[in-house]
Chains A and B, each alone.
Chain A
Amino acid sequence: MKTNPFNYIPVVFFFCMFAMSACEEKIDLNLTPNKPLLVVEAYINNIQSQYNYVVLTRSQDYFSPNLNNVPVQNAAVSITEGTVNGNGVYVWDNNSRVQLTELNNPLVPAAFRTGVYFDPRIVSNPNAALRGNIGKAYLLEIEARGQRYSAITSLPTPIEIDSLTFGFASVNASNERTVRITNHYQDPDTLGNRQLYYWIENDDRNSFGWGGIDKSRFPGKDDQTNGQYIRLTHPNRFEVPDTIDYYMASVNKDVYNFWESYDEARNNGGPFSTPVQLKSNLRGTDVTGCFSGFSLSLRRVFSR
Chain B
Amino acid sequence: MHRICNVFLKNNKRALCGTAALFFVCCLSNFGILYAQPANVSVQVTGPGNEKIANATISINEQRQKADDNGFVQILLEQGNYSIQISAVNYFSYNFSVKINADTILFAELKPRESFLGNVTVTSSRNVSGNQMSTQSLSMEQIRKLPVILGEIDPLKTITLLPGIKNGGEGGSGLYVRGGGPDQNLVLLDGIPVYNPNHLFGFFSIFNGEAIDKIEVIKGGMPANFGGRLSSVINVSSRNGNRDSLKGSGGIGLISSRFSLEGPIIKGKSSFMLSARRTYIDQVARVVAKSEIGNNGYFFYDINAKADYNINDNNQLLFTFYTGDDNFKFSNTDNGRNTNFNTLWGNTLAGLFWKQKISNRLQQETGLIYNKFALTNRSTFSAFSFAFASGLEDLQVKTDWQFASNKWLKLKWGLQYIKHQFAPGAGDVTAGVQQFISDIKNQYAHEAAGYITTDIKVTPKLEMTAGMRYSYFNQVGPTSRIIYGADGEPTGETESFKRGESIAAYHYPEPRVSFLYKLPAQASIKASYTRTTQFLHLATTSGATFPSDLWVPSGEKIKPAIAEQVALGYFKNLDGNQYELSAEAYYKTMSNQIEFRPGAQLLLNQNIEGEMIFGSGVAYGIELFAQKKTGRFTGWIGYTLSRTERTFDELNNGKPFTYRYDRTHDLSIVGNYRLNKKWDMAAVFVYGTGNALTLPKGRFGFNLGLDLAENRPIFTNINQYDAINDYRMPAYHRLDIAFTYTPKPNSSKRYKSSWNFGIYNVYNRRNPFFIYVDVDRDAQTVEGRKVYLFPIIPSVTWNFKF
Contact = CB atoms under 8 A, between A and B. Distances in A.
Q: Do A and B bind each other?
A: yes
Interface of A: 1-6, 8-9, 11-13, 15-29, 31-37, 39, 41, 55, 57-65, 67-70, 108-109, 111-112, 167, 169-172, 178, 180, 182, 191-192, 206-213, 215, 218-225, 230-235, 237, 253, 260-262, 264-266, 268-279, 288-289
Given A109-B711, A233-B383, A289-B702, A170 B335 contact: yes
Contact of B431 (A16, A63, A218): A218
Contacts of A172: 335-336
Contacts, number: 303
A8 to B, nearest CB: 6
Contact of A27 (B381, B386, B771): B771
Contacts of A167: 432
A25 B377 CA distance: 34
B434 A233 contact: yes
Contact of A277 (B487, B598, B698, B726): B598
A39 B699 CA distance: 10
Given A18-B285, A224-B438, A233-B433, A57 B336 contact: no
Given A16-B298, A261-B599, A29 B328 contact: no
Interface string B410-438: 00000000000000000001011110111
B707 interface: yes
Given A25-B766, A274-B598, A59 B784 contact: no
B782 A221 contact: no
Contacts of A215: 703
B784 A109 contact: no
Contacts of B789: 17, 20, 22
Contacts of A266: 716, 718
Contacts of A230: 434
Contacts of A219: 429, 436, 601, 604
Given A60-B699, A112-B713, A167-B432, A8 B341 contact: yes
Contacts of A36: 698
Given A55-B704, A69-B700, A209-B706, A29 B490 contact: no
Interface in B489-540: 489-490, 492
B802 interface: no
A12 B436 CA distance: 25
B281 A16 contact: yes
A76 B700 CA distance: 21
A210 B432 contact: no
Contacts of A70: 700
B698 A59 contact: yes
B708 A218 contact: no
Contact of A208 (B384, B438, B706): B706
Interface in B587-609: 598-599, 601, 603-604, 606
A22 B285 contact: no
B780 A15 contact: no
A220 B788 contact: no
B541 interface: yes
A9 B341 CA distance: 10
Interface centre among B604, B719, B727 (most CB of A within 10 A): B719
Nearest to B336: A170
A25 B785 contact: yes
Contacts of B544: 271-272
B698 A271 contact: no
Given A16-B200, A211-B705, A22 B769 contact: yes
B598 A275 contact: yes
16 contacts: A9-B548, A22-B788, A24-B786, A25-B788, A29-B773, A35-B698, A64-B782, A67-B780, A108-B706, A192-B489, A218-B429, A219-B429, A219-B601, A234-B383, A260-B599, A289-B702
Interface centre among A5, A109, A274 (most CB of B within 10 A): A5
B643 to A, nearest CB: 21
Contact of B713 (A18, A24, A69, A210): A69
A281 to B, nearest CB: 13
A225 B379 contact: no
B650 to A, nearest CB: 10
Contact of B700 (A59, A268, A271): A59
Contacts of A60: 698-700
Contacts of A31: 695-697, 727
B89 to A, nearest CB: 35
Interface string B357-385: 00000000000000000000101011110
Given A178-B336, A234-B383, A270 B696 contact: no
A22 B787 contact: yes
A64 to B, nearest CB: 7
A275 B719 CA distance: 8
A34 to B, nearest CB: 3
B25 interface: no
A67 B782 contact: yes
A272 B542 contact: yes
Contacts of B695: 29, 31, 62
Q: How large is the interface on B (under 10, 10 to 19, 20 to 34, 35 or more residues)?
A: 35 or more
Contact of A275 (B696, B716, B788): B696
B492 A191 contact: yes
B388 A37 contact: no
Interface centre among B328, B432, B601 (most CB of A within 10 A): B432
Given A20-B789, A23-B787, A69-B713, A210 B285 contact: no
B322 to A, nearest CB: 23
Contacts of B702: 39, 41, 211, 262, 278, 289
Nearest to A270: B770
Nearest to B783: A26
Interface centre among B337, B379, B544, B699 (most CB of A within 10 A): B699
Contacts of B694: 274-275
B714 interface: yes
B696 A62 contact: yes
Interface string B316-328: 0000000000001
A18 B290 CA distance: 13
Interface centre among A2, A21, A211 (most CB of B within 10 A): A211
B50 to A, nearest CB: 42
A208 B388 contact: no
B751 interface: no
A191 B489 contact: yes
Given A4-B603, A9-B201, A171 B336 contact: yes
A269 to B, nearest CB: 6
A12 B322 CA distance: 26
B12 interface: no
Interface string B430-451: 0111101111000000000000
B770 A61 contact: no
B35 interface: no
B787 A277 contact: no
B754 to A, nearest CB: 25
B546 interface: yes
A59 B718 CA distance: 9
A122 B285 CA distance: 61
A27 B766 CA distance: 11
Interface in B755-802: 766, 768-773, 775, 777, 780, 782-791, 793
B715 interface: yes
Contacts of B289: 18
A253 to B, nearest CB: 7
A59 B699 contact: yes
B601 A273 contact: no
A267 B552 CA distance: 27
Contacts of B706: 108-109, 112, 207-209, 212
Contacts of A27: 730, 768, 771, 784-786
A283 B657 CA distance: 25
Given A5-B603, A215-B703, A271-B769, 10 more contacts: A8-B341, A20-B789, A22-B787, A27-B771, A31-B696, A207-B708, A223-B606, A235-B383, A262-B703, A266-B716
B439 to A, nearest CB: 7
B80 interface: no
